[in-house]
Amino acid sequence: MTTESIELKKPRYIFLDNIKLMFAILVIFNHARVTYEGSGWWYYIEENTLDLFSTIFFQTLASFGGIFQASLLGLFFLLAGFLTPKSFDRKKLSVFWKERLLRLGVPLLLYVLLINPIMFYILSVLGIEPWTSYPNLQGSLLDYYFDQFKSLGTLIDFLTNVGPMWFLYVLLIFTFVYTLWRQVSRSDSIQQYIPKELPIPRNVYLFLIAIVLGWVAFIVRFISPVDRFPLGIPFGYLIQYFMMFVVGVITARYDWFEKISKDHIKVWSSILAATVVLFFLYFILFMGVDSDYSVVFGGPNLSALVFALVDNMVCMGMIFVLIPIFYLKFNTQGNIIKNLSDSSFHMYLIHAPILVTISLVFISIPLFPVLKLVIVFPLAVILCYLASQYGLRKIL
């Protein structure tokens, strides 16, 4: 087995900024897709009678999105995990957490306390379902705020209704866990068990880890299917996300990016392709196009097990396929991509109200749903960039 590693001939970690940009654009695209396709949660979902082409188009997008959601989002947790140790090492604990709370906590609070409730209220006033049917949205905006303090339960629901900002919420939790680990691992009794060097595990062990994580996710999803977010946390995906965050931390400590070999890429490209093909064969032969897709979200059934195993296998494969692709092919930036990537975090923060506003502008225009998606998505990306570059970045 060859252990020839990828040789870097380009600036080292520019590709990480490009992955952040991909994250922002994919989030905007996914929520635009939900707007016009209807599967999933979003603030505004347009009621459409889909023609045959639109049905096939959106079902294909939903199928690929379902398979790659955890793995693609997991990459961004890997990126966050990779950046965390170096930031932690450079600063005192208090300074580290002050910056983390300013960077993640303040935007999260602003979203939960202002943007989220204001969007709910405006959508209710505009007669958009289901918001117009909610009893606590029938009065004034102040009445809605006061209603959230009537009981501990409603207050907890209000504060944990983080919407698309769940990523920041979960990342703060992972960062807290990492901080605890750094404090505990300072003792000599633990330090003696931490290796000075750690190679990437052999492919067979990585494969077995993915299988085990798939079974764990399958069991967790008995209680918390992937379409539910108790306390604002995606417990159904939490195993994959935490694994990716930990891999990012380990990668930073042991330079795993430099140790990814051509053998890793070859093996995991094959596994990834085989996994996707086999999943679609299972989908066609045992589920069918008109089946109830929700069975894969969780529960004691074969489809949920298959999806959990595929989910984790793809998640593992993305580490050794997509990252090397970005490492080798997208490790440079022109002026346009640099400007976009510099604004990517703020584009993510502001995308919900901008996307919903654009969608409502097109609500009465008689266009096919696919065509609306083709128009609304790039418009949302452009306006999110402009709002970020010339507004939000100057504030946050």
- Number of structural domains the chain divides into: 1
In a domain, 22, yes or no: yes
**Would you say residue 239 lies in a domain?**
no
344 belongs to a structural domain: yes
Residue 192: both structure tokens together: 């003696």
Percent of the chain having pLDDT more than 90? 47
Per-residue pLDDT averaged across 243-268, rounded? 91
Contact 179, 245 (CB under 8 A): no
Is pLDDT at 311 greater than 70 in this prediction? yes
Task: Check if the beta carbon of residue 71 is closer than 8 Å to that of residue 237.
Answer: no
Cβ-based neighbours of 221, under 8 Å, separated by 6 or more: 236, 297, 298, 299, 304, 308
pTM above 0.85, yes or no: yes
Point out the least confidently predicted range of 204-218, 273-287, 376-390.
Answer: 273-287
- Burial string for 160-169 (b: 16+ CB within 10 Å, else e) reads ebbbbbbbbb
Q: Is residue 323 part of a domain?
A: no
Specify if 208 maps to a domain. Answer: no
Query: Which pLDDT belongs to residue 290?
Result: 60
- Which one is predicted more confidently, 329 or 167? 167
Q: Is residue 367 part of a domain?
A: yes
pLDDT tier, 10 (very low <50, low <70, confident <90, very high otherwise): very low
What's the CA gap between 256 and 205, in Å, rounded? 16
Indicate if the pLDDT at residue 261 is higher than 60.
yes
Asked if 350 and 386 touch (Cβ cutoff 8 Å), the reply is no
Q: What is the pLDDT of residue 146?
A: 87
Compute the chain's Rg from CA coordinates: 22
Contact of 355 with 44, CB cutoff 8 Å: no
Within-domain flag for 68: no
Q: What integer pLDDT is reported at residue 70 of this predicted model?
A: 66
pLDDT at 11 exceeding the cut of 60: no
The torsion angles phi and psi of 199, rounded to 5 degrees, stand at -75, 160
pLDDT score of 291? 67
pLDDT one-digit tens code per residue, 327-339 = 888 888 888 898 8
DSSP state at residue 230: G
pLDDT digits over 111-165, tens only?
Answer: 999 999 999 999 999 989 888 888 888 888 888 888 888 889 889 999 999 999 9
198 CB-side CA count, 13 A: 15
Model confidence at 288, pLDDT cuts 50, 70, 90, reads: low
Q: What is the average pLDDT value for the chain, to the nearest integer?
A: 87
The predicted structure's pLDDT at residue 289: 61
Indicate the burial class of 66 (C-beta count within 10 angstroms; 0-12, 13-18, 19 or more): buried
Output the pLDDT for position 306. 92
Nearest to 242 by CA among 292, 313, 174: 174
Q: Is residue 350 part of a domain?
A: yes
What residues make up the domain containing 370?
14-49+334-396
Residue 124's nearest CA partner among 146, 140, 113 is 140
Say whether pLDDT at 245 is over 50: yes
- DSSP characters over 244-304: HHHHHHHHHHHTHHHH-BHHHHHHHHHHHHHHHHHHHHHIIIII-TTS-GGGGGSSSSHHH
Angle subtended at Cα 320 by Cα 316 and Cα 326, rounded to the nearest 5 degrees: 125
- Measured in Å, how far apart are the chain's first and last C-alpha atoms? 49
Q: At 77, is the pLDDT very low, low, confident or very high (cuts 50, 70, 90)? A: very high
